[in-house]
Structure 1
Amino acid sequence: MILAPTGFLAVDGAELEYRLIGPQPSDAPCIVMLHEGLGSVGLWGDFPDRLQQATGASVLVYSRAGYGASSPVSLPRPLDYMQREAREVLPKLLDSIGFREGLLVGHSDGASIAALYAGGHQDHRLRGVVLIAPHVIVEDISVASIADIKTAYETSELRTKLARWHEDVDNAFYGWNGAWLDPKFRAWDITDALAYIRVPVAVIQGMADQYGTARQVEIIRDECYCPVEVTMLPGVGHSPHREAGEATLKIIADFAGATLPAAASA
């Protein structure tokens, strides 16, 4: 299958929008980027393009079902929606693009999905994972900030701003927000998956992250048996690739150079 620069992938009954920058994933190492809980293809901005230029790798970004221009989902989302994404959707997506070797780079929810995939699939094609502002447990700070953003969504211009990036903005917002604010979600915990990761891990965490603390990083360090590189960024919040773009880009490019030598020399 030859992928156009933009289009849709039919995966698990949904049409998922994507962007491909650089070579075909079947022809070169590929970095697959997994967005945050309110993210989409468009919300990555030009970061994927800059990452492709810095590494020479193929870079693929896509919107999960319920986000961007991808198919909507039924609400409420199941509370194990990230586990389902890692177990059921992501393997099919990687196969559909001809993924032959590469990295997963995930942000927030996307980082959790990347960790779940790496721990749940002994995929010989996967050379490493980059976790940007990951969640492995639910913290009080996370729930408080997600409650605050619900108020902002319903009383400010936030809904209008997010609608630029999602065709069904309510589906995107309430699918994510409703799950995280469900009292039963407080028991969500994916630490068990971390011990089964068998590839190098790079963690990028803002020290001023309003959605999670350094506890998330400590758990990853404690539970992983694989090499874990951690970068804590002072004064940076929940989106290091936007707030400290150059530093975040260098961390990922250096990691790609160490784990994907072919990409570094492309």
Structure 2
Amino acid sequence: MPDTTTPSIMATDLWAEHPRGRIFARAWTPGSGAPAAPSASPIVLLHDSLGSVELWRDFPAALSAATGRRVIAYDRLGFGRSDPRADTLAPAGFIGDEARSFFPVLRERLGIRRFVAFGHSVGGGMAVHCAADFPDDCEALITESAQAFPEDRTLDAIAVAKEQFTDESQVGRLRKYHGDKARWVLDAWTDSWLHPEFARWTLAPVLPRVTCPVLAIHGIHDEYGTIRHPEMIGQLSGGPARVEIIPDTYHVPHRERPDLILGLVSGFLDQLR
């Protein structure tokens, strides 16, 4: 049954059957009394390396209220409430594989045709692939704190995190969101990014295939990547691109500066209409 997240936004839990397991999703929809854009494409949120639907917290509901659009977030297979994965992530290909192998099934099962792709951190790279692979259906691309290549700052921060998570009490924090999959989630992040094969990964050949409007958001103090990443996204994208560098902000702008991010995103999408 739907539950009311705010007086005007309805949240509904959904499941998509994939050949490799069930994928959990949640949709936030403007209800009575909320400004709505009924003909507008839904916004699909792609989470970060340790993320899940729950870790978006109240941002999806606020985003739905700010834009008048349906917002859909999902747990990638192996994360959150989705089924576990028996395999490990392919270091050089897992980011593009999300768009090729999982996103199309989610769209089919949930009836998503046109969409706005919004990805945070590694989810931003996945959103880039979604926009590139489905250019006729992707209305816009929004990246937040996305990495475009394996920068030294990124890898150094991940190596530090890997060492910190040797403490099982730290892993316990992840179990709240991923249950028994917590260790797999952690290893999927650190082992894939730190693998030698990942050194050749880059969004450079993918970005020119992105023809929709792009908004690239990045915190100036992001501990997982410098502004070279949003600049590369803006410079190489095949469509019109806007880069926003947020002052006094780190890796999670939508949590650190929610009102600012909601204003940027809603203004960007309003211009498209």
Q: TM-score, normalised by structure 1?
A: 0.91
User: Aligned to 2:163, what secondary structure does the other structure show?
Assistant: helix
Would you say 1:21 and 2:28 are equivalent positions?
Answer: yes
Please state how far the C-alpha of 1:101 moved relative to its aligned partner: 2.6
User: Aligned to 2:65, what secondary structure does the other structure show?
Assistant: helix
Distance 1:222 1:229 in 2: 9
Percentage of identical aligned residues: 30
1:107–1:150 CA distance, 2 compared to 1 (3 A): same
| Residue of structure 1 equivalent to 2:35 | none
Per-residue CA deviation, residues 183-205 of structure 1 (Å, 9 max, x unaligned), is 22111112101001110000110
Distance 2:87 2:140 in 1: 33
| Residue of structure 2 equivalent to 1:8 | 15
- Unaligned runs of 5+ residues in structure 2 are 1-10, 32-37
Give the residue type in structure 1 aligned to 2:184.
Answer: N
Question: Does the 8 A contact of 1:75 with 1:175 survive in 2?
Answer: no
Per-residue CA deviation, residues 110-160 of structure 1 (Å, 9 max, x unaligned), is 1000101212232x2211010001111110111110011111111274312
Give the count of matched residue pairs. Answer: 256
| Residue of structure 2 equivalent to 1:45 | 57
Among 145, 150, 154, which residue is 2:162 paired with?
150
Would you say 1:87 and 2:100 are equivalent positions?
Answer: yes
| Residue of structure 2 equivalent to 1:264 | none
Among 68, 73, 81, which residue is 1:69 paired with?
81
Among 212, 215, 219, which residue is 1:206 paired with?
219
Distance 1:245 1:169 in 2: 27
Question: Does the 8 A contact of 2:41 with 2:139 survive in 1?
Answer: no
Give the residue type in structure 2 aligned to 1:234.
Answer: P
Please state how far the C-alpha of 1:27 moved relative to its aligned partner: 6.9
Distance 1:132 1:241 in 2: 8
Distance 1:146 1:126 in 2: 31
> Higher mean Cα deviation, 165-174 or 70-79?
70-79
Question: Does the 8 A contact of 1:12 with 1:89 survive in 2?
Answer: no
Give the residue type in structure 2 aligned to 1:34.
Answer: L
Distance 1:223 1:213 in 2: 17
| Residue of structure 2 equivalent to 1:161 | 173
| Residue of structure 2 equivalent to 1:173 | 186
Among 131, 137, 140, which residue is 1:128 paired with?
140
Higher relative contact order (CA 8 A, sep 6+): 1
Please state how far the C-alpha of 1:218 moved relative to its aligned partner: 2.1
The Cα RMSD (Å) is 1.9
Q: TM-score, normalised by structure 2?
A: 0.88
Please state how far the C-alpha of 1:249 moved relative to its aligned partner: 1.2
User: Aligned to 2:177, what secondary structure does the other structure show?
Assistant: coil
Would you say 1:234 and 2:234 are equivalent positions?
Answer: no
Question: Does the 8 A contact of 2:51 with 2:79 survive in 1?
Answer: yes
Please state how far the C-alpha of 1:247 moved relative to its aligned partner: 0.8
Give the residue type in structure 1 aligned to 2:144.
Answer: I
- Give the 4+ runs in structure 1 shifted more than 2 A: 26-29, 155-158
User: Aligned to 1:173, what secondary structure does the other structure show?
Assistant: helix
User: Aligned to 1:105, what secondary structure does the other structure show?
Assistant: strand
- Unaligned runs of 5+ residues in structure 1 are 262-266
**What does 1:102-141 correspond to in 2, within 5 Å?**
102-122=115-135, 124-141=136-153
Please state how far the C-alpha of 1:76 moved relative to its aligned partner: 2.5
User: Aligned to 2:224, what secondary structure does the other structure show?
Assistant: coil
Question: Does the 8 A contact of 1:20 with 1:60 survive in 2?
Answer: yes
Distance 2:28 2:198 in 1: 36
> Higher mean Cα deviation, 190-199 or 113-122?
113-122
Distance 2:24 2:157 in 1: 29
Distance 1:74 1:189 in 2: 26
Please state how far the C-alpha of 1:34 moved relative to its aligned partner: 0.4
User: Aligned to 2:209, what secondary structure does the other structure show?
Assistant: coil
